[in-house]
Amino acid sequence: MKLLILDRDGVINEDSDDYIKSLEEWIPIPSAIAAIARLSKAGWTVAVATNQSGIARGYYDLATLDSMHARLRELVEEQGGELGVIQYCPHGPDEGCDCRKPRPGMLRRIAAHYGVDLAGIWFVGDSSGDLEAALAVDCQPILVKTGKGERTLAKTLPAGTLVFDDLAAVAAHLLQ
């Protein structure tokens, strides 16, 4: 199975240090939407693993989060593609859940959903926590320079991390 797992904020849509708190603040990266559709049409399954501590912090509710994800699916489907499962962690940093990246719980749930092994599966993110979560379950860590990616790139990267400008470049590489 051709499975690609994506972080959301900073990879699929613009990120903000002030969180993405409403549908209006959820600004898709156009080339990322097109990349997801292109991959999907080429037989890839594209899933999402996203930290959403803004829920625990009370910045927005699950209905608002669901509206962002409905919009994401709609945009991909408008281009003939289909988005796979979206796993989110609604917890705060101090709740000790197993799903908040850098813990790999969401990646494990995605693998279980599709009945596949995670070894070597590419996980694309913009933050160190994404890369660490990938390594925790033997995924291939992929850093994009969008979102917080340039800040992450300025720090020491985990060994073996591959760096791309954006999701469109990741898709071009996978589809070459």
Ligand X SMILES: O=P(O)(O)OC[C@@H](O)[C@H]1O[C@@H](OP(=O)(O)O)[C@@H](O)[C@@H](O)[C@@H]1O
By CB under 6 A, tell whether 50 contacts ligand X.
yes
Helix ranges, the chain (H): 30-41, 53-56, 62-78, 105-114, 128-136, 149-153, 167-175
Taking the complex as a whole, the smallest distance from the CB of residue 26 to Zn ion amounts, in Å, to: 20
* CA-based radius of gyration for the chain: 15
20 binds ligand X (CB under 6 A): yes
Helices 167-175 & 30-41, crossing angle to 10 degrees?
A: 20
Q: Could you say which of Mg ion, ligand X, Zn ion, none residue 52 binds, taking C-beta under 5 to 8 angstroms by partner kind? A: ligand X
# chain residues binding ligand X, by CB under 6 A: 17
Asked if residue 90 lies in contact with residue 83, where contact means CB atoms within 8 angstroms, the answer is: no
Please report whether residue 166 would count as binding ligand X according to CB under 6 A: no
Identity at 87, one-letter amino acid code: Q
Window contacting ligand X (CB under 6 A); options: 4-12, 106-114, 155-163, 165-173? 4-12
69 is in an annotated binding site: no
Q: Which is nearer to Zn ion, 54 or 81 (CB)?
A: 54
Residues 6+ apart with CB under 8 A from 172: none
Active-site amino acid positions: 7, 9
Smallest CA-to-CA distance from 115 within 70, 72, 85 is with 85
- Interface residue with ligand X among 4, 5, 10, 32 (CB under 6 A) is 10
Select 7 or 166, whichever has its Cβ closest to Mg ion: 7
* Alpha carbon distances (Å) from 44 to 1, 34, 99, 107, 146: 8, 13, 24, 17, 22
Among 35, 44, 45, 51, binds ligand X (CB under 6 A): 51
Using CB under 5 A as the criterion, which residues of the chain lie in contact with Zn ion when the complex forms? Answer: 89, 91, 97, 99-100
Q: Enumerate binding residues for ligand X (CB under 6 A).
A: 7-10, 15-17, 19-20, 50-54, 93, 101, 127
Name the binding residues for Zn(2+).
89, 91, 97, 99
